[in-house]
Amino acid sequence: MARVAVVFHSGYGHTKVQAEAVHRGAAAVAGTDAALIDVVDYERNWDLLDRADAVIFGAPTYMAGASAPFKAFLDATASRWAEQRWKDKLAAGFTNSAGHSGDKLSTLQQFNLFAMQHGMIWVGLGLLPGHHTSTGTAEDLNRLAGFLGAMAQSNADQAADVAPPPADRRTAEHLGRRVAEAAARWRQA
């Protein structure tokens, strides 16, 4: 049984929708024990995180980086970093912001470097870019053309029932599935 933990923050619900999609994708892979952890509860979930084969980090992009509550969680892993307790776990990331760019690559890079500090093994999105040709559309998987992780965009004037849009939810599901499949292979190795 491969264990995948999805840990996320969401101030207004949009990134929660994305996190749920990541979790759904992971849980759909047979033999996966997938947990969804709201970062406000991280102190009660160290055991789940420590036992996970893969941890997927997700936060909204606020001021060109991960939101403050999520950064507080990242900082709280410092004792685990000192012992390299998460070394050789798989890691991946996702983020959501109002802008189509919105500088959200910076958030994924932050998660990637964090994982590298922990000695984790990064799993990227593994999709070709969508919506980048004359025949592409906003319905394309990976419409925001990310590589490092799953990106989503939520219009600032829309609530989480419609934003982020379906293509970004499917992209998030893909990331969850991909990490769960990688975790199953990683456990066998």
Ligand X SMILES: Cc1cc2nc3c(=O)[nH]c(=O)nc-3n(C[C@H](O)[C@H](O)[C@H](O)COP(=O)(O)O)c2cc1C
Q: How far is the CB of 81 from ligand X (least distance, A)?
A: 26
Q: In the complex with ligand X, which residue's Cβ is closer, 57 or 86?
A: 57
Report 5-34 residues binding ligand X (CB under 6 A). Answer: 10-15
Residue appearing with tokens 């507080």: 72
**How does DSSP assign 16-63, residue by residue?**
HHHHHHHHHHHHTSTTEEEEEEEGGGGGG-HHHHHH-SEEEEEEEEET
Among 113, 156, 162, 185, binds ligand X (CB under 6 A): 156
Q: In the complex with ligand X, which residue's Cβ is closer, 103 or 139?
A: 103
Q: How far is the CB of 184 from ligand X (least distance, A)?
A: 29
Determine contact, residues 115/149, Cβ cutoff 8 Å: no
Distance from C-alpha of 40 to C-alpha of 37, rounded to nearest angstrom: 8
Q: In the complex with ligand X, which residue's Cβ is closer, 98 or 145?
A: 98
Beta strands in 107-149 (DSSP E): 121-122
Phi and psi at residue 8, to the nearest 5° = -145, 160
Distance from C-alpha of 101 to C-alpha of 78, rounded to nearest angstrom: 30
Q: Does 40 bind ligand X (CB under 6 A)?
A: no
Q: How far is the CB of 163 from ligand X (least distance, A)?
A: 7
Report 86-145 residues binding ligand X (CB under 6 A). Answer: 96-99, 102-103
Q: How far is the CB of 165 from ligand X (least distance, A)?
A: 12
**Interface size with ligand X, residues (CB under 6 A):** 19
DSSP 152: E
Where is 170: in which H helix or E strand? helix 166-188
Determine contact, residues 22/58, Cβ cutoff 8 Å: yes
Among 1, 63, 82, 189, binds ligand X (CB under 6 A): 63
Q: In the complex with ligand X, which residue's Cβ is closer, 33 or 38?
A: 38
Distance from C-alpha of 99 to C-alpha of 61, rounded to nearest angstrom: 10
Q: How far is the CB of 70 from ligand X (least distance, A)?
A: 10
Binding site for ligand X (CB under 6 A): 10-15, 60-64, 96-99, 102-103, 154, 156
